[in-house]
Amino acid sequence: MSRARITGTGSALPDKIITNRDLEQMVETSDEWITTRTGIKERRIAADREYTSTFAVEAGRRALAMSGTGADELDLIILGTVTPDFPFPATACIIQKELGAHKAAAFDLSAACSGFMYGLSIATTHIRAGAAKKALVIGAEVLSRVVDWTDRNTCILFGDGAGAAVVEACEGESGILSTHIFSDGSHWDQLYLPAAGSRNPASCQRTIDERLYYLRMEGNDVYKHAVRAMEEAAITALNANGMSPSDISLFIPHQANRRIIDATAKRLGLSEDKVFVNLHTYGNTSAASIPIALDEANRSGAIKKGDIVLMDAFGGGFTYASALVRW
C-alpha cells in the first residue's frame, strides 16, 4: 500500500491588516485585553472583491509550484471551509476551474476549524486505498463576512486567508504516518451560524434584524473543550505510532487562542520551542490556520527532512483531528 506524502505547501493572505488598536475604535475593547486573553495582535481582512476562492486558488497554485505538480495531474481537490463563495456549488469546483485541474473531483468539506485536517485525512485515505494519486487539500476562509463587527466577544478573534498542501502517493519512510478525525455533535450550537441554511431561510424580519447571518460562539465553553479535545487527538496520534511527546520535532496546533495552545502544549509536556505559533499576526483563520502555519514553518526551514510534525485541530461541531507526519 502506498504512503501519502505532503510534497508542497502554499498560503495566501489578504493585504489589509486590522490591528487591536483599530478594533478599539470599533467596539469596547483594548489591545491589552485582546493580547492577554488571546495572544492576537492583528489579523488580515479580505478586500471587497476578494473571496474565499481568491485566497484558496493562490494558496493552491503556490503548493502545486513547490511540489512540481501540474494542476491537470490532480485527482482530487478538497476545500475545508465554513465560508464558501456560495452555499452551492462547491467552491472547490470554482478552484478546479481557476487552476485548470480538469480531471480532479472537487468538493467542499464542512468541519469548521478542523476542515483542513479532515480533508488531509480523506486525501490520505484515498491515496492509501489507491483511489487517487495526487490531491490538493486546502483550508480557506473569509470569516470577516460572517463576523458580527459589533460583538466584541467574537470580532476580535477571527481573520481571513488560505493554506494548501499537495498530497501524493509515495514509497519510503517519509509521509503521513496517521490521521485521526473526531466529532462531538452534542455541542453543535456552541459555535455556529444560524442563517444561510434550511433552518432559517432568508427573511428581513428574522434573519437580518436578528443578525442570524453572523457566527455565534460560547467562547468559554468552546475554550475548555478545545484544550481537552486537542490533547486527546494528539495522544491518539502518538499512541497509534508508538511514539511519545518527546519524539515530536514540531507541534502545529490550530491557531485560535494562545492560552489554548499553551495549555495543550503543557499537557503534552512540549517546550515552547517545539510549538509553532503565528496567531499574533493572523488571528483565528479557522480551516486555514493549520495549513498557513504549516506553509510558514516549511518555507522558513522550521521543518527539516525526517522531522516528526504533529498537527492538531479543534473547531465547531465540535470537530477535532490530528495528523502525524514524518517530513
Catalytic residues: 113, 254, 284
What is the residue whose three cell numbers read 490532480?
74
The phi, psi pair for 200, rounded to 5°, reads: -130, 80
**Residue 75: C-alpha distances to residues 107, 121, 131, 267 (Å):** 12, 15, 9, 39
Task: Considering the complex, state which of residue 37 and residue 228 has its C-beta at the smaller distance from ligand UT7.
Answer: 37
Q: Give least dist CB 229 to ligand UT7, A.
A: 10
33 binds ligand UT7 (CB under 6 A): yes
CB-facing half-sphere around the CA of 287: CA atoms within 13 A:
33
Whether the CB-CB separation of 140 and 56 falls below 8 Å is answered with: yes
Residues 247-286 that bind ligand UT7 (CB under 6 A): 256-257, 260, 284
The size of the interface with ligand UT7 (CB under 6 A), counted in residues, is 21
35 binds ligand UT7 (CB under 6 A): no
Q: Give least dist CB 316 to ligand UT7, A.
A: 6
Task: Considering the complex, state which of residue 18 and residue 260 has its C-beta at the smaller distance from ligand UT7.
Answer: 260
Q: Give least dist CB 244 to ligand UT7, A.
A: 26
51 binds ligand UT7 (CB under 6 A): no
Task: Considering the complex, state which of residue 153 and residue 241 has its C-beta at the smaller distance from ligand UT7.
Answer: 153
In the shown chain, the binding pattern of residues 198 to 227 toward ligand UT7, with x for contact by CB under 6 A and - for none, equals: ---------------------xx-xx--x-
What's the burial of 120, exposed, middle or buried (CB within 10 Å: 0-12/13-18/19+)?
A: buried
Residues 126-185 that bind ligand UT7 (CB under 6 A): 152-153, 156
DSSP states of 86-120: SSSS-HHHHHHHHHT-TT-EEEEE--GGGHHHHHH
Secondary structure element (H or E) that encloses residue 322, with its range = strand 319-326
- Pick from 93, 123, 124, 126: which is nearest to 108 by CA? 93
Of 51, 55, 314, 320, which lies in the binding site for ligand UT7, with binding defined by CB under 6 A?
Answer: 314
In single-letter form, the type of residue at position 132 comes to: A
322 binds ligand UT7 (CB under 6 A): no
What is the residue whose three cell numbers read 473569509?
142
Residue in the shown chain whose Cβ atom is closest to ligand UT7: 219
Of 10, 139, 175, 315, which lies in the binding site for ligand UT7, with binding defined by CB under 6 A?
Answer: 315
∠ CA 115-96-291, rounded to 5°: 30
Task: Considering the complex, state which of residue 92 and residue 156 has its C-beta at the smaller distance from ligand UT7.
Answer: 156
Which residue ranges make up the site for ligand UT7 (CB under 6 A)?
Answer: 29, 33-34, 37-38, 113, 152-153, 156, 191, 219-220, 222-223, 226, 256-257, 260, 284, 314-315
